[in-house]
Amino acid sequence: MSKTDSRPSIQTQMKESIQEEALKVARSIQKPGQTKEQTKLIAQGIAKGIELYKKQQSAKARERDKARKKALRLKQAEMSAQAPGKEDMVFASEATDWGVRGTLILGGAIFAAIACIFAASSFAGWPVSFGPFTLADWASLTTALASAGLSGWFFYKAFKSRF
């Protein structure tokens, strides 16, 4: 905030809102015969209590965050101690065995189906069209080979990798 900026800061706005809320609470619990000065003093006490509470909650949140980060570091240290040199195993250990393997098998099957379709269209002489565009035979065959390669790689990863 620059010196020429006449807008109050966020902290000032928050402090003012706390004071307004405290004054409302103090007025709501005002006793008969209580002076305005006494009500203002009660409101100041309530505002200080609210600020103290917020500071305590912030400190507790920081401590929880520190404890969570420390636990995470300890877990990562355990993982690296169990399998030194295998940083990529951290992700694999958290994933389920058949979740990743099933996804790879499904991807391999989809790419195999695409490869079969493009190879069949290339060898049978069927034109492959996307709207007004027709794919050349060599492009169809190239797509079939690329899809077959991806399919093979997915199946290889699914059955040769340890999860």
pLDDT per residue of the chain (163 residues) written in tens, 0 to 9: 455 556 778 888 888 888 888 888 888 888 888 888 888 888 889 889 988 998 899 999 999 999 999 999 988 888 777 765 555 554 545 455 667 888 999 999 999 999 999 999 888 888 888 889 888 888 889 999 999 999 999 999 988 876 5
Asked if the structure places residue 108 within a domain, the reply is yes
Asked if the structure places residue 19 within a domain, the reply is yes
Could you count the other beta carbons within 10 Å of the beta carbon of residue 10?
A: 9
Residue at a domain's end among 36, 54, 82: 82
pLDDT of residue 3: 55
pLDDT of residue 4: 56
Asked if the structure places residue 153 within a domain, the reply is yes
Residue at a domain's end among 82, 110, 136: 82
| Total-model pTM | 0.40
Asked if the structure places residue 87 within a domain, the reply is no
Q: Are residues 111 and 132 in the same domain?
A: yes
Q: Are residues 72 and 115 in the same domain?
A: no
Distance from C-alpha of 157 to C-alpha of 101, rounded to nearest angstrom:
8
Q: Are residues 76 and 118 in the same domain?
A: no
Asked if the structure places residue 57 within a domain, the reply is yes
Please state the domain count of the chain.
2
pLDDT tens digits, residue range 87-117?
Answer: 555 454 545 566 788 899 999 999 999 999 9
Residue-range definition of the domain harbouring residue 55 = 10-82
pLDDT of residue 97: 63
pLDDT of residue 126: 86
Task: Give Cβ neighbours of residue 39 (< 8 Å, ≥ 6 apart).
Answer: 23, 26, 27, 30
Record the tokens describing residue 30, joined without a space.
Answer: 């005002």
Average pLDDT, the chain: 83
Distance from C-alpha of 21 to C-alpha of 18, rounded to nearest angstrom:
5
Asked if the structure places residue 25 within a domain, the reply is yes
Asked if the structure places residue 5 within a domain, the reply is no
Asked if the structure places residue 107 within a domain, the reply is yes
Task: Give Cβ neighbours of residue 50 (< 8 Å, ≥ 6 apart).
Answer: 18, 21, 22
